[in-house]
Amino acid sequence: MPKEAPNAQKGRTGLQRVWHAFGYSLAGLRAGWQETAFRQEATASLAMIPLAFWLGRNWVEVVLLAGVVLIVLIVELLNTGVESAIDRIGPEWHDLSKRAKDMGSAAVLLSLLLCAGTWVAALWSRLS
């Protein structure tokens, strides 16, 4: 008798696996929406991504402007995932837990700086 996988997703193949993975991704976006920082960044992206098409002078610039906005959202979701995993372990303070959370926060900061720098440079170039 074949052994059943402990996770049902591991036993799926083909389009069934892709369909379920898509559902998990949507669940992740819904969970991210519960986080204030992600919600603020996602709301800003609703204006910034269409603006990228106006500000960018060619497809490369449009991709860079929209891409750095998406990078911020991606890094924020990953940071939230790290924080959730750390919080699951336990509420007590631990140096390694703090280090992991601080590094996730630093990654978000760097992605925001990259985004801001790219947009400022593009605006400077477009408006000067």
Count of CA atoms in the C-beta half-sphere (13 A) of 121 = 10
Chain CA centroid to CA 85, Å: 16
Question: What torsion, rounded to 10 degrees, do the Cα atoms 62, 68, 74, 76 define?
Answer: -140
Backbone φ/ψ region at 14: left (φ over 0), alpha (ψ -120 to 50), beta: left
Give the span between the Cα atoms of 111 and 102, in whole angstroms: 14
Gyration radius of the chain's alpha carbons = 19
Question: Is the distance from CB of 108 to CB of 76 less than 8 angstroms?
Answer: yes
**Could you say which of 35, 41, 76, 83 is catalytic?**
76
Would you call 35 a catalytic residue per the annotation? no
Q: Which residues are catalytic?
A: 76
